[in-house]
């Protein structure tokens, strides 16, 4: 098959994953000035953040929330929009920023959520890929995620853009209080090239996908920020291949959930610098007690805890998060292709929009 025909037969999902370096580069150039200041119109006198979203946008919120706490030292809550609208009390203060994330800007339960906060006089900000959508027009502050049209039902490049926008919010607020964001800006500037390198290792991810595709039960493990990364990877495989994929924090998995490995299953472990030793100890116990196949995705050099190891070289947490996500997205897409599923149009799924 020639190169042109091969390009035409690629799933849209794969093409959209490959677009992520360009999406990040475009956002960086649009939102970060030549003097490394973040050009966003957002409120800065903030001491609390609450994020409401659904699906992959929710996982994006869960990934970003620890970074709000770590880099800004302020609390950050996040909740599924469908759960958020069922709350009896909302703690609205002048210094609380409510962030609503939706690719389409028309997600029904997210629209209900922002309307509740608007009624209470809360400060609202949206991140959406659709200017002049309902969510856009309801919000006090607006950020266009600018990922371009996302045709595949499984969100990939839109999620990447949303996460990048949340990081920009963090850095804008951090600069207003601490004044120094040079290392974070440099990491974002280098992110497109890093993602290009990750995509360049796609053939290795195909090997991992081939291994995983032989199992109906899959466990993905990650600590702290990487637990919601694991959840997003699980969602991508579920959406595109309809397999039973479970995501857990490493430590929690060892409390009873590990019993699922008594049946035939494969473990995907995301290992980061901060939690490498505890992750390795847990994997050693898992192997000793259950001996499943293990695949490791790691930003830590010389991790050899898996039967197959994928090294996403970086010492920067921000880059490792994006790198882990793109690896899991490509693996999910490839599993679907191996199982002869259509990753672009999963059965029974549509983009959720306003009723």
Domain assignment of residue 263, yes or no:
yes
> Same structural domain for residues 159 and 228?
no
Domain assignment of residue 123, yes or no:
yes
> Same structural domain for residues 67 and 211?
no
On the question of pLDDT at 4 being above 70, the answer is no
171-175, 180-184, 256-260, 264-268, range with the lowest pLDDT: 180-184
> Same structural domain for residues 288 and 331?
yes
Confidence of residue 354 (pLDDT cuts 50, 70, 90): very low
Per-residue pLDDT, 1: 47
Q: What is the number of other CB atoms lying within 10 angstroms of the CB of residue 344?
A: 18
> Same structural domain for residues 138 and 245?
no
> Same structural domain for residues 185 and 40?
yes
> Same structural domain for residues 87 and 115?
yes
Q: How far is CA 320 from the centre of its chain?
A: 11
Angle between helices 20-31 and 182-200 (to 10 degrees): 160
Instruction: Look up the CATH number of the domain holding residue 96.
Output: 3.40.50.10490
- Looking at the structure of the chain, the number of domains it has is 2
Confidence of residue 282 (pLDDT cuts 50, 70, 90): very high
Domain assignment of residue 350, yes or no:
no
Per-residue pLDDT, 355: 38
pLDDT in tens, 53-112: 999 999 999 999 999 999 999 999 999 999 999 999 999 999 999 999 999 999 999 999
> Same structural domain for residues 278 and 226?
yes
Per-residue pLDDT, 281: 95
> Same structural domain for residues 71 and 94?
yes
Domain assignment of residue 355, yes or no:
no
Task: Domain of residue 87: give its range.
Answer: 3-197
200-206 average pLDDT score: 97
> Same structural domain for residues 50 and 186?
yes
pLDDT in tens, 205-232: 999 999 999 999 999 999 999 999 999 9
> Same structural domain for residues 163 and 303?
no
> Same structural domain for residues 104 and 16?
yes
pLDDT in tens, 156-168: 999 999 999 999 9
Q: Are 120 and 109 in contact (CB under 8 A)?
A: no
Q: Which residues, in sequence order, are CB contacts of 48 under 8 Å at separation 6+?
A: 74, 75, 76, 93, 95, 96, 97
Per-residue pLDDT, 351: 57
């Amino acid at each position: 098959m020639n190169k042109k025909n091969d390009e035409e037969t690629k799933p849209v999902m794969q093409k959209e994953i490959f677009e992520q370096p360009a999406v990040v580069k475009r956002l960086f150039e649009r939102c970060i000035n030549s003097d490394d200041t973040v050009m966003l119109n957002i409120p800065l006198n903030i001491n609390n953040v609450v994020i409401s979203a659904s699906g992959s946008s929710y996982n994006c919120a869960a990934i970003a929330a620890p970074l709000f706490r770590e880099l800004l030292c302020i609390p950050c809550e996040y909740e599924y929009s469908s759960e958020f609208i069922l709350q009896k009390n909302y703690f609205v203060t002048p210094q609380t920023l409510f962030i609503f994330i939706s690719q389409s800007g028309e997600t029904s339960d997210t629209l209900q959520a922002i309307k509740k906060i608007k009624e209470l006089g809360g400060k609202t900000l949206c991140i959406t890929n659709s200017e002049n959508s309902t969510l856009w027009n309801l919000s006090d502050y607006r950020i266009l995620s600018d990922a371009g049209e996302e045709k595949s039902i499984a969100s990939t490049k839109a999620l990447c853009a949303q996460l990048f926008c949340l990081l920009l919010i963090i850095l804008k607020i951090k600069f207003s209080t601490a004044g120094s964001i040079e290392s974070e800006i440099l990491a974002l500037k280098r992110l497109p090239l890093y993602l290009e390198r990750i995509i360049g290792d796609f053939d290795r991810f195909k090997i991992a996908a081939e291994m995983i595709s032989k199992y109906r039960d899959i466990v993905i493990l990650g600590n702290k920020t990487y637990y919601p990364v694991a959840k997003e990877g699980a969602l991508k495989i579920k959406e595109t291949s309809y397999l039973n994929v479970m995501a857990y924090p490493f430590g929690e998995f060892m409390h009873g959930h590990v019993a699922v490995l008594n049946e035939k299953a494969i473990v995907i472990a995301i290992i980061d610098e901060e939690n490498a030793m505890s992750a390795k100890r847990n994997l050693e116990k898992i192997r000793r007690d259950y001996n499943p196949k293990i695949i490791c995705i790691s930003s830590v050099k010389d991790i050899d805890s898996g039967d197959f190891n994928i090294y996403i070289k970086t010492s920067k947490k921000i880059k490792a998060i994006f790198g882990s996500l793109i690896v899991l997205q490509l693996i999910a897409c490839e599993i679907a292709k191996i199982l002869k599923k259509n990753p672009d149009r999963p059965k029974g799924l549509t983009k959720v929009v306003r009723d």
